[in-house]
Structure 1
Amino acid sequence: MSAADNPAGKPVILLAAGGTGGHLFPAEALAGALGARGVLVDLATDDRAARYAGQFPARRLHILPADTVRSRSPLSLARTAFSLASGIAKGMALMRSLKPAAVVGFGGYPTVPPIMAGVFARRPTIIHEANGVMGRANALLAPRVKAIATGYPGICDGDPALAAKAHHTGNPVRPAVRAAAGAPFRAPQAGEPFHLLVFGGSQGARVMSEIVPPAIERLAPDLRARLRIVQQSRAEDIEAVRAVYDRLGVEAELAPFFDDLPARMARAHLVVGRSGASTVAELSVIGRPSVLVPLPHALDQDQLANAKALANAGGALLMPQDQFTPERFADELARLAGEPAALDAMAAAALALGRADAAERLADLVLQVAGLGTHGGTGAHA
């Protein structure tokens, strides 16, 4: 980086994230918090995630090769090793030119090359683990980095060496989530409209379309008449789902994607969805009751760990996918709709688990590890 690129000589923090929104969203929130303190932020990712990072608040985007372990075959392992080694080599060149004050990774294999390059270049390195169990990439990096930030407390307790450098910051959430967090929750009383929000992301919308409509059909007519449903459905499923709700006379808004999901979450009386780290963090910061259906067969079972954390706190009902049947969901929905006090208690429990200031906490940690205090050397603390 030349002086012309940074005429004020501001410190530069390199963020490493990619793969999914679960990695990019908290990185985006941290970038905003650091930028407000006068710190320049660059983003390192791989070419697959780069297409989702167009709105990321970074000064520059750096593409480094990376690959995940797809199978245990010698050819696949060799391909992954070559990609990661190439990424680390390019990362070392980036360290020499950028000279970042710190490198911060958010999990997933796209973070391995820049974090390892930072370790080899003796730059302060931090990883953030958003889930209730550490993912494979972060587990590989954790012994090598200077600090570990966690979305949930206690996930490093089984290893004293890791626990000694672990800091529970919470999971940073997008500005739209923080804006929605001020809306108070009031459970609907008998006869009042009941707002149900259903979403599942790219890997969850199908099961929601298969289970929720027949569950609604099993409800008593007076409860069906109260429902106001907002549901994410895949484009190929929308007409079939709409046909069921139209036949039942249920008011429903369907779409493959909602770009204002935090605001819709704030208006909901019950949320039904997967339990990725970002979803659980947003439910907690906004404070809404939920039925969580973790993605099954995940290698790390991270969604199950996230759902258990919120359910154990009293903020959610955990329903594994093999138990997420029309009959079971209809029973639970009818029970919760008839118990406003239970919904109020769930909302309060979820809110108690949330950390709306997680981005600020993480920014504090990053700047301290980087030796920049908590103000980024500018005296402006946002």
Structure 2
Amino acid sequence: MPSVFEPYGSAQSFRMIVAGGGTGGHLFPGIAVAQAFLARHSKNQVLFVNAGRPLEVEVLSRLGWPHEVIRVEGLKGRGLWNQFRSLIKMPKAVLQSRRLIKSFDPHVVLGVGGYSAGPVVLAAWLSGVATVLHEQNQLPGMTNRLLRRIVKRIYLTFPDEAGRFDATKTLVTGNPVRDEILVLGEMPRPQHEERFTVLVLGGSQGARAINQAMVAALPYLADRRELMVVHQTGREEETVVAEAYNRAGMRARVQAFFNNVAEQYQQSDLIICRAGATTVAEITAVGRAAIFVPYPFAADDHQTCNARALVDAGAAEMVPESQLEGKGLAEKILDLMDHRSRLSEMAAKALSLGRPDATLMIIGDIYKLIGG
């Protein structure tokens, strides 16, 4: 697992647990911090602990990260009976987490959000281990809100203007971005006048509304032979969407999930996507123009807030899901295809908003907390 960060050569090595995940928005920032932590000292060790959802298992196994699974279920939006069952399982999850902590003996536990972070961070606090959190979004998730009082530090992507956290514990760092994506920000964007590549991302699980809008847009795009679409659909709609591109005679690569998303970013001219904090951070790291379609049911509509920061800076466009339809989306794509200079300006402005130092800030502060 090579890193773009140079080792610091510290005399002492440390161990860290990264707890939580569930979605790419939680998991990938944890991986970014883990990469930098290993780069800090060749003998540092990282263990991921989560609920063992398919995305977590697949990504961590493929990348070679050690990981353990605890038996825990979420509470939010699951109905009273399922919430009761989840609460009953919580003490056992904490005990299971304490056994893992005793075995691995970490110097610090980092919670990255998601319900599986809760029992691990709590068990670490009960065991006297240093605990820290990272909050990706403007509105904190339930797990981080519950844990905020017991941890030593909370790393924030956005300033805490609402005062939800103890200001003496917070550090605004931005959102950590994985090494393989960070390096793209230092590379020139490929120029292909004969090809225009649109990357469609619906998050790690896909986005039905974006899938349907792209399918509806195909009749308006099919005659542009220079257009290439790379489309991440999620598992449920991969076959249906792929068939739609075939019927339209479009050049396209359709997959449920891209393991090599950094490569897809590098080859893209325009990105159509949700506006989760991790996606926004990655787009600013690589410097690409984007059309955001915020998930309308995100808590307090925080994805719209995420997107608005780039739209106001001239780095992106935004289409509310309620206004998303095929012809209008096609018109936006074609307009940017035909005005490459504006596309380049948007990409440059996006790059200027990136926080490539986020991961190093977090690792530096963690080292201070654990005495490294």
Pick the TM interval, shorter chain: 0.7 to 0.9
**Which structure has the higher relative contact order (CA within 8 Å, separation 6+)?**
1
1:110 CA displacement: 0.4
- Write the deviation string for residues 292-349 of structure 1: whole angstroms up to 9, x where unpaired: 1122323454433332333233222121211111122123223323333321221112
**Distance in 2 of aligned mates of 1:354 and 1:54:** 29
SS at match of 2:53: helix
Gaps of 5+ in 1: 1-7, 373-382
- Write the deviation string for residues 144-182 of structure 1: whole angstroms up to 9, x where unpaired: 21111122x31x222275233221222222232123323
- Which AA in structure 1 matches 2:172? H
| Residue aligning to 1:44 | 49
**Distance in 2 of aligned mates of 1:237 and 1:139:** 39
| Residue aligning to 2:68 | 62
- Write the deviation string for residues 12-44 of structure 1: whole angstroms up to 9, x where unpaired: 222112212222211112112111222222222
Q: Is the 8 A contact 1:209 1:237 kept in 2?
A: no
Q: Is the 8 A contact 1:185 1:347 kept in 2?
A: no
| Residue aligning to 2:3 | none
SS at match of 2:298: coil
**Distance in 1 of aligned mates of 2:81 and 2:276:** 31
1:61 CA displacement: 2.9
- Which AA in structure 2 matches 1:26? P
| Residue aligning to 1:112 | 118
**Distance in 2 of aligned mates of 1:70 and 1:168:** 27
**Distance in 1 of aligned mates of 2:204 and 2:165:** 37
| Residue aligning to 2:28 | 25
Q: Select the structure of larger CA radius of gyration.
A: 1
The correspondence of residues 39-188 of structure 1 with structure 2, limited to 5 A, is 39-48=44-53, 51-52=57-58, 53-55=60-62, 58=65, 60-71=66-77, 73-151=79-157, 153-154=158-159, 156-159=160-163, 161-185=165-189
| Residue aligning to 1:212 | 214
- Write the deviation string for residues 251-298 of structure 1: whole angstroms up to 9, x where unpaired: 333333333222221222211112223321211100000011122323
| Residue aligning to 1:226 | 226
**Distance in 2 of aligned mates of 1:178 and 1:227:** 26
**Distance in 1 of aligned mates of 2:118 and 2:90:** 7
1:244 CA displacement: 4.0
Q: Is the 8 A contact 1:307 1:318 kept in 2?
A: yes
1:126 CA displacement: 0.6
**Distance in 2 of aligned mates of 1:70 and 1:105:** 18
Greater Cα shift, 123-132 or 325-334 = 325-334
- Write the deviation string for residues 58-96 of structure 1: whole angstroms up to 9, x where unpaired: 4x5333232211447543332121222222223334444
**Distance in 1 of aligned mates of 2:330 and 2:100:** 54
**Distance in 1 of aligned mates of 2:162 and 2:327:** 39
- Write the deviation string for residues 92-150 of structure 1: whole angstroms up to 9, x where unpaired: 34444443211111000100011111222332211011223211111111222111112
Cα RMSD for the two superposed structures? 2.7
**Distance in 1 of aligned mates of 2:191 and 2:315:** 14
Per the normalisation by structure 2, the TM-score is: 0.85
Q: Is the 8 A contact 1:45 1:111 kept in 2?
A: yes
Runs of 4+ in 1 over 6 A off after TM superposition: 186-189
Q: Is the 8 A contact 2:198 2:230 kept in 1?
A: yes
**Distance in 1 of aligned mates of 2:289 and 2:150:** 38
**Distance in 1 of aligned mates of 2:300 and 2:369:** 28
Q: How many residue pairs get matched?
A: 355
Per the normalisation by structure 1, the TM-score is: 0.83
Q: Is the 8 A contact 2:98 2:124 kept in 1?
A: yes
**Distance in 1 of aligned mates of 2:204 and 2:264:** 18
- Which AA in structure 1 matches 2:171? H
The correspondence of residues 254-293 of structure 1 with structure 2, limited to 5 A, is 254-293=254-293
Q: Is the 8 A contact 1:133 1:305 kept in 2?
A: no
| Residue aligning to 1:200 | 202
**Distance in 2 of aligned mates of 1:256 and 1:145:** 37
Cα distance change, pair 312–65 in 1 and its aligned pair in 2 (3 A) = farther
**Distance in 2 of aligned mates of 1:202 and 1:364:** 29
Alignment identity in percent?
A: 31
- Which AA in structure 2 matches 1:92? R
Gaps of 5+ in 2: 1-10
